[in-house]
Amino acid sequence: LAKTTQPISMDSYEGQEVNITCSHNNIATNDYITWYQQFPSQGPRFIIQGYKTKVTNEVASLFIPADRKSSTLSLPRVSLSDTAVYYCHLDNYGQNFVFGPGTRLSVLP
C-alpha cells in the first residue's frame, strides 16, 4: 500500500495562505490523491481530489507535480474555522483504505 507523509502540525494566522505538502514517493499509476478535513468529533470531509497538475475548487487548490511523488494542498486566506486536521489520502479504485496521521492546522487570530 502506498504510504503518505505529512507534517504533524502547522500554525498559521488568519488571512494567510496555507500550503500543506504530502509526500507519496511510492504512488501507483492508478492512485488518485484526495485531501480531507476533519474537525473534532466529526467524520473526515472531502476537500479536493486530483490525479496530476492542478485542481481548484471553491475552497482549495491542489498542486501535483509531473512525477506525482508529492502534492500540495493550498488553502487561501484561512480563517479560525479552518483549524482542523487535514489528511492526504491515496486511493486506487477503493483498494487503499489507510489514512495517515494527518496534519493538525492551527489558525491563530
Site residues (vs other proteins, CB under 8 A): 30, 32, 34, 36, 38, 41-46, 49, 87, 89, 91-95, 97-102
**Considering the complex, what minimum distance in angstroms separates the CB of residue 62 from other proteins?**
12
3-class SS string, 46-65: EEEEECCEEEECCCCEEEEC
Nearest to 73 by CA among 33, 15, 19: 19
Residue 36: other Cβ atoms inside 10 A: 20
**Considering the complex, what minimum distance in angstroms separates the CB of residue 55 from other proteins?**
9
In the bound state with other proteins, the residue whose beta carbon lies nearer, of 16 and 55, is 55
Long-range contacts of 25-30 (CB under 8 A, 24+ apart): 25/69, 26/2, 27/2, 27/68, 27/69, 27/90, 28/2, 28/90, 28/92, 30/92, 30/93
In the bound state with other proteins, the residue whose beta carbon lies nearer, of 7 and 100, is 100
**Considering the complex, what minimum distance in angstroms separates the CB of residue 49 from other proteins?**
6
**Considering the complex, what minimum distance in angstroms separates the CB of residue 36 from other proteins?**
7
In the bound state with other proteins, the residue whose beta carbon lies nearer, of 43 and 109, is 43
In the bound state with other proteins, the residue whose beta carbon lies nearer, of 16 and 38, is 38
